[in-house]
């Protein structure tokens, strides 16, 4: 399923604005629908059963769980604050820019 959100993309540095992980930063690993998985954030413990045929050892594994896109905002490294994303048209191309400074994102 293709994501409807065009503002945030895989690899963007984001900050969590609500929930248990509020104030923490990380990079988006994957976007699935209206949720994203952020590196080393929103960890949950998952109990796995061993499967010797697949080489899986059993035990408790920490797994990254998805966070709703409405609960994360892009991190502006120049202003050191969270920011919104706007779009600018340059030579027929749609480019993402920070709303506060107007500079291009990556």
- The pLDDT score that the predictor gives to residue 87 is 95
The number of residues making up the chain comes to 106
Q: How many CA atoms lie within 13 A of 13 on its CB side?
A: 13
Instruction: Render pLDDT for 18-68 as a digit per residue (tens, 0 to 9).
Output: 999 999 999 999 999 999 999 999 999 999 999 999 998 999 999 999 999
- The pLDDT score that the predictor gives to residue 98 is 96
DSSP class of 71: G
Residue partners of 54: CB distance under 8 A and separation at least 6: none
Overall average pLDDT of the 67-94 stretch: 95
Sequence ranges of the domains in the chain: 13-77
* Whether the predicted pLDDT of 4 surpasses 70: no
């Amino acid at each position: 399923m293709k994501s409807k959100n065009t503002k945030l993309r895989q690899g963007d540095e984001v900050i969590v604005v609500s929930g248990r992980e509020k104030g923490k930063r990380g990079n988006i690993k994957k976007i699935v629908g209206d949720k994203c998985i952020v590196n080393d954030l929103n960890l949950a413990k998952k109990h796995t059963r061993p499967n010797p045929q697949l080489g899986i050892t059993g035990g408790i594994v920490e797994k990254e769980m998805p966070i709703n896109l409405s609960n994360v905002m892009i991190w502006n490294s120049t202003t050191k604050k969270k920011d919104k994303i706007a779009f600018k048209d340059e030579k027929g191309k749609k480019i993402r820019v920070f709303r506060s400074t107007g500079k291009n994102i990556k």
